[in-house]
Amino acid sequence: MADGSALSRSFLAFLTFCLVLVLATGGVVWYVGPTLAGIVVDESRREQPYLLLQLLPAAAVAQTPENPSYRARFAALAAEDGAELVWQAGAVEVIEGSVLLDVAGAQVLRFPTGADLVQMFTGSAYRGLRDGFGALPLRHLGSAGSAPELTPGAASLLVLFRVDESPPPDPLGVPGESGWLRLLPDHRGRVAWIATVDPIRGEDAWNRLLLLQFPNALTAQQWFEDPATETERAIAARYLDDVTVLLVEPSPVVSR
């Protein structure tokens, strides 16, 4: 009988431990969000370099010499955790997607590790930064993929979309060969970055990113509006949802 009671107490203790663990895990996910919590438990993302793409509303890029913008202050804060500013947009125009999308700026930062990004986003300094700018509609997209090969001074098309099911190996096609990207070389464009992305503390549904670069905005628009490109885009649309295309003018800030 005593052995049975001891066994019951041990089982109860085990169940209690499991409950506490579940509640603690749920609390972490609620506090930092599923993406940051995923980085914490995923060694490959936690210990490897991590990229952050920011899409910023007009209120986040406006500044004066006496009052730096949210964009500038965020970059400075991220630098304290070892982040490097990789690329920055001068101006952004939504050429496909919701007319209500407020995106006036963009930048890409590279953190030494995913853990550094989590540390910054969960720190009091970042909370103070957010509180100082009110309820800005900020969009942060993270990626553990390889660093993009971005050319300073080039105009870009940033394509954000969602893939729900397993697409073919190259749903967007191959530059110079097939699909939506077939005519890209004819317009002097190139693929600078293609990656899987996760929203960080956001509700955006995008899970893929494609960044194309061109000599200037005119050639970017010519490729995008080419009838053959539009036809192939319509064919590729069967695999893509929530497509947003941003025309990004180069920034006077030199990428590092």
CB of 117 within 8 A of CB of 39?
yes
- Residue type, position 153, single letter: G
pLDDT score for 14: 44
CB of 92 within 8 A of CB of 103?
yes
Q: What is the pLDDT along the chain (256 residues), one digit of tens a residue?
A: 555 555 455 544 444 433 433 333 444 443 457 888 888 887 888 899 999 999 999 999 888 777 889 999 999 999 999 999 999 998 999 999 887 889 999 999 999 999 999 999 999 999 999 888 878 888 999 999 777 888 888 999 999 999 877 778 888 999 999 999 999 999 999 999 999 999 987 667 899 999 999 999 999 999 999 999 999 999 988 888 899 999 999 887 544 4
Q: Which residues contact 31 (CB under 8 A, 6 or more apart)?
A: 122
CB neighbours of residue 168 within 10 Å:
10
pLDDT score for 19: 41
Instruction: Map 99-114 to HEC letters.
Output: CCCCCCEEEEEEECCH
CB neighbours of residue 21 within 10 Å:
10
pLDDT score for 140: 93
pLDDT score for 31: 41
Strand partners, 31: none
Assigned token pair, 22: 């579940």
Assigned token pair, 196: 């899987």
